[in-house]
Amino acid sequence: MRFLHTADWHLGRVYHGLSLLEDQARVLKDFIRLADDVRPDAILIAGDVYDRSVPPADAVRLLDVTLTRLVVELRIPVVVIAGNHDGPDRLGFGSGMLERAGLTICGPVSAAPRPVVLRDAHGEVAIYPLPYAEPAMVRSLLGDDALDDHQAALAAQLQRIRSAHVPGRRSVVVAHAFVVGGVESDSERPLSVGGSAAVAAGIFDGFDYVALGHLHRPQQAGSPRIHYAGSLLKYSFAEVDHSKSVNLVELDATGGCTVERLALPPWRDLRVIEGALDEIIAAAATDAAREDYILARLSDRGALLDAMGKLRTAYPNALAIERPALEGEGNGRAGADHRRVRIQDLFASFYAEVSGCPMEEAAMQTLQTLVDRLEQEARQA
């Protein structure tokens, strides 16, 4: 049995003020063509379908068109779970009706996950969709006060699956999680709201394949059976060295799996260019990829008049300029993103600058409690 495993589409993403929806539409057309060519037995989408819980209307329409092509026209069963960026109830609307057409969407977490069961010449394969959920939600749903972090919550859900699993039936889990040892990028939103976000790869023992979402770099996660498919596109300049792809997974009769990464080249790539502004502009004349999204790291030390305007005469989709020589050591790092700095760290720095002394431990703990509460309210909203 063969699957296409993909994740982290982040439809509706805006980067440096620019909507990436057109780029996403183009790469999804390529994905549909790939699915038509490969003809998998199912497609697994492991969360973060949208970039935010209330997606823009154009992103919803793009998902509708894409899933219609895959499920209705190509007749390929699709299994989708909610990630930490998705609004689970919105994503899961109409899931009961859609399942009859071959589209399984798991938005809100369930106390008793139901598998999608497919059959091939060697028997049945059970696909268990596990949407992302905060530990507090799982704790309340399962009535277990000991589930105080992501490791415990996900382990409890997987144990329920194991207890109900039919012996001898091959099994696949689709989940959205951060496995210990995984390589992160700047474009991922941290999972943790208090407590630890990481889970050990060992909690997935016994399953034939684990299709993960959340980390944007395609990678194996602690076992040849556990893989991240990676994001659909590069969503940060920190990802310039990534090769985006989807996983073609093949399960044999005994549950052994092979994984092949199938490339999905972008319409416009994300690149970092270094050098003096005049040199970069001159070199653009022979650059066949002038339409790419560009971060220019300039070596110029003197004043530059309208540097971005001049850069865009050569690279019309230039997004940012960095000047390491003026900013100091370490501040010109590709993909550096102030949004990755924790609120409590920003506040602590502000407090120290204003008061002249660092925050005391008790004050830091109070601040952490307040930040956790605000982030939890924001996610629920």
Task: Tokens for 155, please give them.
Answer: 């382990």
Task: Tokens for 11, please give them.
Answer: 């439809």
Any idea of the CA torsion for 78, 83, 89, 95, to the nearest 10 degrees? 10
- 8 Å CB contact between 324 and 297: yes
Q: d(Cα 319, Cα 340) in Å, to the nearest integer?
A: 19
Which residues 6+ apart lie within 8 Å of 170 measured at CB?
1, 122, 123, 124, 125, 126, 208, 251, 255
Closest CA to 14 of 293, 307, 380, 230: 293
Task: Tokens for 239, please give them.
Answer: 């990802």
SS3 of the chain: the string is CEEEEECCCCECCEECCEECHHHHHHHHHHHHHHHHHHCCCEEEEECCCECCCCCCHHHHHHHHHHHHHHHHHCCCCEEEECCCCCCHHHHCCCHHHHHHHCEEEECCCCCCCCCEEEEECCEEEEEEEECCCCHHHHHHHHCCCCCCCHHHHHHHHHHHHHHHCCCCCEEEEEEECEECCCCCCCCCCCCCCCCCCEECHHHHCCCCEEEEECCCCCEECCCCCEEECCCCCCCCHHHCCCCCEEEEEEECCCCCEEEEEEECCCCCCEEEEEECHHHHHHHHHHCCCCCCEEEEEECCCCCCCCHHHHHHHHCCCEEEEECHHHHCCCCCCCCCCHHHCCHHHHHHHHHHHHHCCCCCHHHHHHHHHHHHHHHHHHHHC
Closest CA to 76 of 116, 106, 22, 129: 116
Task: Tokens for 82, please give them.
Answer: 């909610």
Which residues 6+ apart lie within 8 Å of 146 measured at CB?
152
Mode of pairing for the β-strands spanning 42-46 and 2-6 = parallel
- Walk along the chain (381 residues) in steps of 10 and give the mean pLDDT of each run: 97 94 97 97 96 94 96 96 92 84 92 91 95 90 88 93 93 94 72 66 95 95 94 93 95 95 95 95 93 94 89 95 72 47 78 77 87 72 55
Burial class from Cβ neighbours inside 10 Å (0-12, 13-18, 19+) for residue 378 reads: exposed
Closest CA to 25 of 11, 37, 14, 15: 11
- Signed CA dihedral, 286, 291, 297, 303: sign only: positive
Q: In one letter, which amino acid is 5?
A: H
Question: In what side-by-side order are the strands of the sheet with 318-322?
Answer: 270-275, 293-298, 318-322
Query: Looking up tokens 């144990």, which residue turns up?
Result: 159
Task: Give ∠ CA 196-198-203 in degrees, rounded to 5.
Answer: 120
